[in-house]
Chains A and B, each alone.
Chain A
Amino acid sequence: MAAVATGASGPQCAEALAAAAGNSSSTSFRRRVPKAGGAESSGPRLVSISGTRPSVRNGQLLVSTGLPALDQLLGGGLAVGTVLLIEEDKYNIYSPMLFKYFLAEGIVSGHTLLVASAKEDPTDILKELPAPLRDDNSKKELDEDICHKTAENNTKMKIAWRYQLLPKMEVGPVSSSRFGHYYDASKKISEKLLEASKWHRFFLPEKVSSTLKVEPCFLTHGYGKLLQFIQNIIYEEGFDGSNPQKKQKNILRIGIQSLGSPLWGDAISCTESCGNNHSLTKFLYVLRGLLRTSLSACIITMPTHLIQSKAIIARVKNLSDTVVGLESFIGSERETNPLYKDYHGLIHIRQIPRLNNLICDESDVKDLAFKLKRKLFTIERLHLPPDLSDTVSRSSKQDLADSAKLLGPGCGTMAGGKKHLDF
């Protein structure tokens, strides 16, 4: 009886104790929750800037280049603090499109822009940026395109139907994407968007009066001015963390047009022997140093077809991080080649950086072609037919154009012609 009585009172005592111990928790154990928003916070805070995302591969902060297809080829986007070098095509028709896409992406994401040019006024460049596509319109248009293509493909693939499951190069717009927007190349960007954005311009003929004779010292005069301008902007606006009172971190997108052309005062494209002309390489070196210590990304278009010395082109490529080359078919024999009739040119991804990594994120697709449709700039995989003639060598694909002409009478006509063999 006594035991029962104490047993009965036991739980009551325990409850009374528990009630006395804590108000809400029934145990005396407490979890230490890290204070959120404290000055000495325990965990690292993620830098969340609009228009960027961390790379899943190497943890770098990525910005979009404005073309989601190009982002995919570069491994998710362009890393902040790196240089994207675009080798211009011969008549400079398609590389301004990539330049404008990059800047338009900056405006849509709310980044600050810095546009430098020796040829056109940056104000005019900014007025010609493509307008962003609204999500529902773009999805409708791209769906039409994709449906059209897959309808054709479905009838062809009866035996090799598993290839239909391969991922396509063209990525449709994700409806709620804050990274990588689509643009309508036939429309210009609206004035409101331009006014709402913050941008700086550097136009060389205004900054440098060319009647002034300046001795060539460390750098060509134009390059020196441009570097000083970029450094000032980075410092004043706090992209390198020098103004800690800044409320919101932002990215600076720098666009330099036609670097290395004689309009910048650089004689690299005019002389065959490079001699002591290291201005361009020194400029790239200093620029990369500025970019690495600040939250900025840079796009440079360079007319490498004008530079005669291959050594300098190789050095320029090594000094840039990502190098993309455009080769248009205009004027070359490939324009009339039926293999390339759907496309306007080839795009070569020449270099992708290894940032905190041992390997770089190359895609396995090496034959890429681009096409500038009226509204869209598309990059697609180029499907070349197999080399069936015995005159062409296996190692070079550009002989294919020649071999297509060499296919004469005989067995060759069967391989290259429209007639196919049914078995």
Chain B
Amino acid sequence: MLESLLAIGGLVLLRDSVEWEGRSLLKALVKKSALSGEQVHVLGCEVSEEEFREGFESDVNSRLIYHDLFRDPLNWSKTGEAHPGGPLGALRAMCRTDSCSITIAVDSLSWLLLHLPCTELCQTLHVLSHGNSYPGVNPPVGQVRVLGLLHEELHGQGPLGALSSLAQTEVTMDGKMGQASVHILYRRPQQRPAYQTQWFSILPDFNLDLQEGPLESQQQPSSHVPLVDPTTHLTFNLHLSKKEREAKDNLTLPFQFSSEKQQALLRPGPGQSSSHIFYEPDVYDDLDQEDPDEDLDI
């Protein structure tokens, strides 16, 4: 499952909630991409660096490039470590470094959404995901992947919808009865979105253990209503037999101008005679058409 999540570049949005947390899945993804030789940058905002690095082996830890925003987010100590452009500037600077593929893990996007305007964050994420096609960036960068953790209960529908529309992959954490699951939505451009649901659990060393769904506990006995077919005891026929159906098909309908009717109209039948009108002129009838004054008696 992790390979499919990391396969396409772009923004991978991990939406978690209070009951089902997503940081462990984020760390599992970070470990996987670090072990596959990519450059991994981590922008840590919510937890301290020690806490984030906890649980990783030394080789993973050595490959992580950590940008710490937790200790001094507003740069009060003025040590000069923080990037001048703020967290967004730090993000943009990450994708300009090298030409190999980069994974950027943002922990978390919720923190950035609460401190920065949403539109700027969306624009920065868009630039990061499509960073290799802009003329402003000097050499073309390899594939950039952004893993963003988002706590969906902290935000309203607006920012969630905006970030979802930008994401290429959206992973929603869920679960039932102690078993965690993810609903993955793959949004590729110009293609229909694909859904997938996967039950899993994360081991202490941040490897993934895929599982089947939770065991079904005793099912509620479904109340069966015996189906009553009303056509069984009827005093009339509801269906036609084959002969009756054939007879019905062969019937010409009254308003249909079929060939038989046409013949009947063109050729008068033997029983019909053409009608004639016989006229006996009366004594008062005006037979002369041209003289209009004949009946004036002048």
Contact = CB atoms under 8 A, between A and B. Distances in A.
5 contacts: A205-B134, A211-B89, A263-B123, A266-B119, A270-B158
Contacts of B191: 93
B89 A272 contact: no
A265 interface: yes
A411 interface: yes
Contacts of A267: 117-119
B117 A161 contact: no
A306 B193 contact: no
Given A308-B156, A422-B245, 13 more contacts: A91-B192, A211-B89, A261-B162, A265-B119, A266-B119, A267-B119, A269-B162, A270-B122, A270-B158, A270-B162, A306-B165, A330-B193, A422-B238
Contacts of B122: 261-263, 270
Nearest to B244: A422
A409 B231 CA distance: 13
B127 interface: yes
Contacts of A93: 190-193
Interface residues of A, number: 36
A168 interface: no
Contacts of A159: 253
A206 B157 CA distance: 30
A211 B90 CA distance: 12
A160 to B, nearest CB: 10
Contacts of A414: 230
B126 A263 contact: yes
Interface in B222-246: 225, 227-228, 230, 238-240, 245
B187 interface: yes
Contact of B225 (A262, A270, A409): A409
A422 B239 contact: yes
A385 interface: no
B139 interface: no
Contact of B158 (A121, A161, A306, A330): A306
A409 B230 CA distance: 10
Contact of A422 (B187, B240, B256): B240
A351 B224 CA distance: 49
Contact of B157 (A308, A331, A409): A308
A92 interface: yes
Given A303-B165, A330-B193, A161 B256 contact: yes
Interface string A296-337: 000000010110100000000000000000000011000000
B124 interface: yes
A265 B135 CA distance: 20
Interface of A: 91-93, 96, 119, 121, 158-159, 161, 205-206, 210-211, 261-263, 265-267, 269-272, 303, 305-306, 308, 330-331, 408-411, 414, 421-422
Contact of A265 (B123, B195, B245): B123
A110 B239 CA distance: 62
Contacts of B117: 267, 270
Contacts of B273: none
Interface hub of B158, B161, B238 (most chain A Cβ within 10 A):
B158
B157 A330 contact: no
A411 B238 contact: no
B238 A269 contact: no
Given A262-B123, A266-B119, A331-B193, A411 B165 contact: no
Contacts of A308: 156-158
A400 to B, nearest CB: 23
Nearest to B85: A211
Contacts of B227: 409
A175 B134 CA distance: 43
Interface string B176-209: 0000000000010011110100000000000000
A119 B190 CA distance: 14
Interface of B: 85, 89, 117-120, 122-124, 126-127, 133-136, 156-159, 161-162, 165-166, 187, 190-193, 195, 225, 227-228, 230, 238-240, 245, 253, 256
Nearest to B195: A331
Interface hub of A96, A262, A265, A421 (most chain B Cβ within 10 A):
A262
Contacts of A422: 238-240, 245
A272 B158 contact: yes
B119 A306 contact: no
Nearest to B253: A159
Given A211-B89, A308-B156, A261 B165 contact: yes
Contacts of B162: 261-262, 269-270, 306
A164 B192 CA distance: 35
A377 B206 CA distance: 47
Contacts of A121: 133
Contacts of B156: 272, 308
Interface hub of B156, B165, B193, B239 (most chain A Cβ within 10 A):
B165
A210 B165 contact: no
A266 B122 CA distance: 10
B109 to A, nearest CB: 13
B165 A205 contact: no
Nearest to B164: A306
A38 B127 CA distance: 58
Contacts of A330: 192-193
Nearest to A264: B119
A265 B122 CA distance: 9
Given A91-B187, A91-B193, A409-B225, A270 B165 contact: no
Contacts of A271: 118, 158
A269 B164 CA distance: 12
Contacts of B195: 331
Nearest to A88: B165
Interface hub of B117, B162, B238 (most chain A Cβ within 10 A):
B162
A61 B240 CA distance: 59
A305 B187 CA distance: 17
Nearest to A208: B123
B165 A92 contact: yes
B203 to A, nearest CB: 32
Contacts of B134: 205-206
A152 B26 CA distance: 55
Given A96-B190, A306-B158, A421-B238, A205 B119 contact: no
Interface hub of A267, A330, A411 (most chain B Cβ within 10 A):
A267
B123 A210 contact: yes
